[in-house]
Chain A
């Protein structure tokens, strides 16, 4: 019940395209949903986050869509760029407790 399931495992997108990564959870006590971006040899870096009282949050080219009834949330990267090539992790947190991470998505944006 603590798991966060993430798909796809890998994603290849052309420059300028839209990258979409999906996550699903079971634990309704989760109340904070961040996305982290990780480059090789680096730690996860917070990209964008959302709370379940909001259905969508946009920051620049990055948008989180949140569906509370379906217990799903997704990351959309508009106008994807080669510099966006990285591993993306969704995560979920319960009231300031541990972060539970998804399995990660390796995104490759071809020039």
Chain B
């Protein structure tokens, strides 16, 4: 069964360093989401892509976070510089676009990348 892949699974970095996370969605899924989950809370969306275009980045801290999906397939989320408050689980999800302007609402999640900033 196809699954969303993410790497690395764990990342430890020091404050002010740059970090990057990678996500490979399920093949054929046009919509890709990055969520951040702080310990004890539910996931919160950072950015949503439809193919290679950003459709929602309203909650992305753009001064330090960036995301790209250049070919409309896999995606990279970057933080530069990392801060202590960025310690969290970063989840990637994807969903299928029917091609009729309607995206099915089932989001499939990856295993996440746990980031610890020291």
Decide if A and B are genuine partners.
no
Q: Which residues of B contact A (CB under 8 A)?
A: none
